[in-house]
Structure 1
Amino acid sequence: MDSPILELRKLGDAPVEDGDLGQLGKPALDRAGKFDNPADRDEFIAGRLALLRFAASLLEVDSARLVPDYRCPRCGPGQDHGRPGFMLDAGSAPLALSASRASGWVLLAAVVHPADGLRLGVDLESVDGVGFPGFDDVALSGNEKRFLSSVSEEEQSLQRARLWARKEAWLKMSGEGLRHNPAELDVLNIKGLHDITPTKVPDGLVAALALG
């Protein structure tokens, strides 16, 4: 099985140069222009640039040669959302990619020269972001709720966030997204779905990887 390359970057660490925005493509720039909060817009742009630079470094090419090619299983190619990808010299760049942002960080994942049909998804979540009232009822399966009740109250917030990160990673990988009811997806024991080692993410965050 292809081994994914993971990289965690702090958003804002890399400066945005004058010519960088033009490399993001019109769909991404149009989406960036719709953010009401400038901080959210800047974080979105920084995340997209981080993925572009990550892809260029893996392929050992100038980032100017890469053209964003986001494809949504429902909406088709040329989107501002969906599964990320790039065109390289008029052909598809040989990468399977995924990315996720949370709390000022972006988690990047790639497989270089992936096998045909290989897909991956990653998700990065804040532990504090999934504890609102009613979350368990709309997001967790009955089996997952029973699992949460079996761990200590102090551990529940962490485990709840891990379950949600697994769901998001899996649904990114499958391409279904939240069109699939997350409460109907049990992620306690799915082959190809893993928590990312806590030592690889900052305190207060959890992450998961799906590969299939």
Structure 2
Amino acid sequence: MIERVNQLGSDAPESGGLPRGRSVAVWSLDTTLRRVGGRAVDGAWTVLDAGERDRAERLVRAADRQRYLASHLGLRILLGGCLGLAPEEVSLVREDCPCCGGPHGRPAVAGGAVHFSLSHSGNLAYFAFAGTPVGVDVEETPGASAMADVLSSLHPDETAELTALPGPERRAALGRLWSRKEAYLKGTGTGLAKGLADPYIGAAPAPGPLPGWTLTDLPAPAGYAAALAVADPAPGRSRTG
């Protein structure tokens, strides 16, 4: 269980190297910072690859562009620390999609030395690094309209759990459930391609069991929920990747 979320701030972080065994490193970042990990966010254009720069340029709102640049700069700084590389030397690829086989599955490091996941919501980003497939998600507490939109898309038992709660508790429980679902689906690489109904994860204070995965709620600031999903090491395989 992860009890501590490291804070990535303006200064360069201490490198922890590659995660070993079943260890997982989780970091959070305030994406409004103008300097991340010792680098200016305005200079991120020279660090990101062509695909990242293209996605950043397509963002119309300056605040959205700032969040994207800060979070992807932070990701490269932390990955570089794991791999012993400069942030701009980290080569990112896409795994094959487990649903259709296309080249748009989980983001990955070329060579697969470490598994990682990135999520951002509002002005907050979360990062996770592990020796097995991993997914992390952070969500702002959803509003009433989001609740109405998603309630019927969940597993029937999850919908029943949420509708049985009073209004204020229901929104917080949905944020908790949504972050768990997203973390798991990012870890598997399927994303939302197969919808939100399966598998059942649950909106209770503790998540339901998921065969082959360890699912944990993460500490998060007020108004947010966060979760981590880590694949259990396959029998007979090294636990370092």
Q: TM-score range by the shorter chain?
A: 0.7 to 0.9
**Structure-2 residue corresponding to 1:210:** 229
**Structure-1 residue corresponding to 2:102:** 75
Number of equivalent positions: 194
Deviation at 1:150, TM superposition (A): 3.6
Local SS of the residue matching 2:58: coil
Equivalent residue for 2:54, pick from 27, 30, 42: 30
**Structure-2 residue corresponding to 1:153:** 167
User: In the TM superposition, what whole-angstrom CA distance separates every residue of 1:106-127 from its partner, at most 9, and x where no partner exists?
Assistant: 101001xx2xxx2110110001
Q: Gaps spanning 5+ residues in structure 2: where?
A: 1-20, 203-207, 232-241
1:83-162 correspondence to structure 2 within 5 Å:
83-87=106-110, 92=111, 94-111=113-130, 114=131, 118-129=132-143, 131-132=145-146, 133-138=148-153, 140-162=154-176
d(CA) in 2 for partners of 1:57 and 1:42?
A: 22
d(CA) in 1 for partners of 2:29 and 2:168?
A: 29
d(CA) in 1 for partners of 2:144 and 2:228?
A: 18
Deviation at 1:130, TM superposition (A): 6.9
Is 1:42 the equivalent of 2:61?
A: no
RMSD (Å), alpha carbons? 2.1
Higher-helix-fraction structure: 1
Deviation at 1:186, TM superposition (A): 1.4
Segments of 4+ in structure 1 off by > 4 A?
none
**Structure-1 residue corresponding to 2:32:** 12
Deviation at 1:128, TM superposition (A): 2.7
Question: What TM-score does the superposition give when structure 1 sets the normalisation length?
Answer: 0.82
**Structure-1 residue corresponding to 2:187:** 173
Q: Gaps spanning 5+ residues in structure 1: where?
A: none
Identity %: 25
d(CA) in 1 for partners of 2:79 and 2:63?
A: 24
Query: Measured at CA, do residues 60 and 28 of structure 1 come closer, stay the same or move farther in structure 2, by a change above 3 Å?
Result: same
Deviation at 1:33, TM superposition (A): 1.7
